[in-house]
Structure 1
Amino acid sequence: MLVVAALGGNALLRRGEPLTARAQRANVKIAAESLAGIVRAGHQLVITHGNGPQVGLLALQGAAYKPDEAYPLDVLGAETEGMIGYIIEQELENALGHDRPVATLLTQVLVDRDDPAFQKPTKFVGPVYGKEEAESRAKAAGWHIAQDGDKWRRVVPSPEPLEIPDMRVLQLLLDQGVVVICAGGGGIPVLRRDDGSMIGVEAVIDKDAASALLARQLGADALLLLTDVDAVYRDFGTDAAAPLHSLTLAEAESLALPAGSMGPKLAAASRFAEGGGISGIGRLEDAVAILERQAGTCVVN
């Protein structure tokens, strides 16, 4: 099978950990063992990942140096694709004993210049703050902020991904048996000009939405949305919480899940499953078991 595996933020950084290269590498090393299991099971693998904390940190660093010369979010997204892709690539090569080629592809993703998301930022980036500090930073830097759990974070536009212009390059790599890391952080958001040329735009695309688009355009057999929760739960966080091991599209649509946690994953899983593929949501360490429908939540058409 051709499997697209989307790594949640916990694969790189757990909440409360410092945003250091050492902490991220330690988490990626664990993730690489699970991903290697998919390859050893005989499947082709494409890996995507998030970048919210990393792109936010780079934005802060740039603003602290020369605010009027800070790089835009599309450039910072490309930087994080290279940085995170390098760590995943190296640790996965180590986990596979260097018997399979692995490559990171900087990936552009086309969005619509008229997407309403540009008028209503919702995507969390950067570190968390207490409310007062967040409000102070927002006032000084012109940010939009929103509550994330019991903390506050910067939010930026998150337009819908429409097309992956780099699909031909990705297919060439897959045809040669390469394990590809791509569309990191949802990919680099770009607009198409009237003359057909492309240019980057200030936004961060949702990683799960981009992963579902990627899986559909590749004709993948399975989409795995891997996180630190073992399944989608009904009434999560209450005494009545119960895991849901299988969902039809109608059942998935009827669930009211938080936009800041499992909601985008279930929406992405449903989009891919509409085409007949297997969508699985669950823990990173259960990746192979999710493929075999022995763990996690499976969304089916």
Structure 2
Amino acid sequence: MDTKQILSGFSVFLLTAPAVWAGFSQQLTSIEAASAIELNQVSPSGISASGSAIAASQSQIIAQQGQVKQGEVYKLMNGGATRTRQSSTVRANTNPRTDLIPRDILTTDTTAKAEILFKQQDTIVRLGESTSFVFPEGLREYQLNNGTIVSMIRPGKGGGTVKTPQASVIARGTGMYIQQCSDRKVALFAILTNNNAEVEPTRVVNGRGDRVSLRAGQLVRVVDGTIQSVQTFNLRSFYQNNPMGAGLGPNQENVVNESPTDVQPVFREVRQETIAAVNGQSENGFDFPNGIPDVCGNGQTKPVRGLW
């Protein structure tokens, strides 16, 4: 190769190198952005648009890391539930299982309870009476409009966010109890497990960005958008007295064994976390020695009744 060819090739390299480096840098940026979203460090809307390549790559990564695509109603008790999809409403069934897709709303009857399995996310959501529950399209981010839920996420499968009209709870842990009053002015967030609590504790965040961290056996109420002081409750008493915790407390293995086979793996691993939290809790000085209180009262959200 003569000198002219070498110089020509080097010139081409100098002209194309910036574009090559820009593409490589852009790819790294998209990965970093997706990671930040997955770790709840920033919302997708908080990342400025820097090209379609970033958005496309970000979407692909998020889709693989925890996008909620489908759920199934696998259990109903003491009544039924209604699924609303756009303008269509149907009664939920368990055989065959009624499916749920993003933007569907599942509403339980005034005496009923229901359980949903999100297979791809290894997540179980238990709904209490008069509860309205929806999951938006996108990441593992659920919405409780009214009522009571227990959320169970299989350990090691990442966290989740539950939004209510009052505040949101962001958790890397596996078990949460959440109640939202029908007047939309009061919500309660109670934590059942300590999974990864030392690394990244569960956080309750209100609309102003105020936040508080919680561990297993702690709860907080949010009233008119203001986060109240952190209080403690007796985990053991909660499992003994409240059917919403059925199967997660000591000597309740039968509830797990009687569950469908595709539900049991999630249930068993979450149960290990809840039992560890019970055994690790001191038996002194509870604000609520009988378990989690019903913060709504006045008939707005009836207390759960009967065995699960």
Q: TM-score, normalised by structure 1?
A: 0.25
Higher strand proportion: 2
More helix by share: 1
TM-score of the aligned structures, taking structure 2 as reference length? 0.24
Larger Rg: 2
